[in-house]
Every structure is written in structure tokens, then in C-alpha cells.
Structure 1
Amino acid sequence: MAIYCFLTLRMEVNQQKMSYNIEFSVATSEQIEAALCKRLESIRLSRNITQAQLAKEAGVSPRTIGRLEKGQGVSMDTFIRIMMALRIQQNLEALLPDPTVRPIERVGMGAGERKRARPTKSIDERPTWSWGDGEDDNE
């Protein structure tokens, strides 16, 4: 089952609200980067924080914030600093969940940490079943 992630960005443009939907499964890296940058800008503006204030809190220059919001690329360190300054670093957990925690373990039914992968049987190795298998031949 395919899971599609949608990122909705709302911006005020010419006094009309526009929505930008990104389907991550088919988006290019540039489209994803631009969407994430616009999302950070939207969060900053919704909290009424200036670029200068965010830059000071994140320990970067206001020009760096401007470059980020224009989608011109910043380092991973800068991206994380800005997320921390906006108090949204917990969202990184959803971005890259811990691979040692399987979904079944998240609901409290799991076992210990997996130590190795076990190969699955190929279709050729599986026993074949046919009608009449297991029936008593004495009838």
C-alpha cells in the first residue's frame, strides 16, 4: 500500500489564498526543497517573527534566512538550527523515524531490537498445495 505525503503550503498572494500541494513520491528534490523552505517561511510569518529575529535565535545571518526562504539552499546544520529556533525540531522524528522501532512495537506489542535480517522463502521453495491434500484416502 503506497502512502502519499502531502505538504500543503498556504500563502497570501494578491489577497487570494493559494495552496501548494506536493506529492513527495513524484516530486523532484528541487520541488521538495522549495516546499520545505516555503513551509519554514510560512511558520515564521504565522508567528510574527522577523527574519532578523529568527536569524539571531538560530545563530545565523539574516541573509541566510533570506536565502533559505528563497530556496537557494543552506547547510543541514543551518536547516536544523532554524527548526530549533522555531521550536519545531520534533518534526524531524516524523521525517526520519527510528528504524529500530517497528510499527508493531509502537503499539506496545513488539519484541526486542532486530539483530539480523532473515531471508524469505522464494515462491519456488514454498510447498505447493492442491485439492485433496490432507484428505483421508480410505473413504
Structure 2
Amino acid sequence: MKITNLTTDKAVLGELGRRTTDYRLQRHMTQSQFAEAAGVSKRTVERLEAGESIQLSNLVRALRVLGRLDAFDRALPDAPANPIDLLERHGKTRQRARPDAKGDEPGAAPWRWGDEA
């Protein structure tokens, strides 16, 4: 099953549980062995595989044992930087294209085409 934004929370948890079970079995691990390697209780593994809610930190531990922790990086990559925020982080202020609303700098001569007498 493909997980999309339209998939219900219950269905997502169920699918994650099914996939976790598949990866665990590919590694020829029992639930007890998996729980010990992840540093969680066997009941936590049972809940995860049954599609029940578990703590996020326990999911991180389980994914690390399965070699799938990198999935978080692909699922939620770093947000692209906002150029204005980057300037502010480096102590620079944004410069306006025109100093005032008319476009004239204070004390500057008015602009001319150059063909006036």
C-alpha cells in the first residue's frame, strides 16, 4: 500500500507496522531479539507491528536497528533557506532598490534625459 496525504492515520500506522514486521523478518529476528537490539520492550515492538501508537523515540530506535533511519531524512528534508533570513543571519540588512518613494536621493539633482538645453 502506498502512503499518501489521503491515507488515514490508522492506515498509516498499520502500514508502518506491516513494513516493520517485513524488515524484521528479513533479518531473521524474533520480536524479542528486535526489542533487545532497539533497547525497547517486546510489548513496544508488538504495538508497533500491530499498527498501534508508540513513542517517536522508540520508532527512531527501531528504524536504526532495521537500517532505515535515513528514511526520516528523505521524508522530512531540511527546508530551503529563505534568502532574507540568510542575510539577517549574517548581520546584513536588506537594501531597498530606491531610497525613497519618489526614487530621488535626498539632495540629488533631478534626473534628465541629457538633451535639455
Fold-level similarity (TM above 0.5) = yes
The percent of aligned pairs where both chains have the same amino acid is 29
Unaligned runs of 5+ in 1: 1-20, 101-112, 118-139
Number of residue pairs matched by the alignment: 85
Structure having the higher Rg? 2
Give me the whole-angstrom Cα distance separating, in 2, the residues matched to 1:48 and 1:69: 15
Q: Secondary structure at the match of 2:83?
A: coil
What is the Cα deviation at residue 23 of structure 1?
4.4
Give the partner amino acid of 1:33.
Answer: L
Q: What corresponds to 1:40 in structure 2?
A: 20
2:46 matches 1:62: no
What is the Cα deviation at residue 114 of structure 1?
2.4
More strand by share: 1
Q: What corresponds to 1:115 in structure 2?
A: 83
Task: Say if 1:63 and 1:98 are closer, same or farther in 2 by CA, change over 3 A.
Answer: same
Equivalent runs, 1:1-139 vs 2, <5 Å: 21-100=1-80, 113-116=81-84
Kindly report the root-mean-square deviation, in angstroms, between the aligned alpha carbons of the 2 structures: 1.6
Kindly indicate whether structure 1 or structure 2 has the higher relative contact order, using CA contacts under 8 Å at least 6 residues apart: 2
Over 2 Å off, 4+ runs: 113-117
TM-score when normalising by structure 1: 0.56
User: C-alpha offsets along residues 6-26 of structure 1, whole Å, 9 cap, x if unaligned?
Assistant: xxxxxxxxxxxxxxx234132
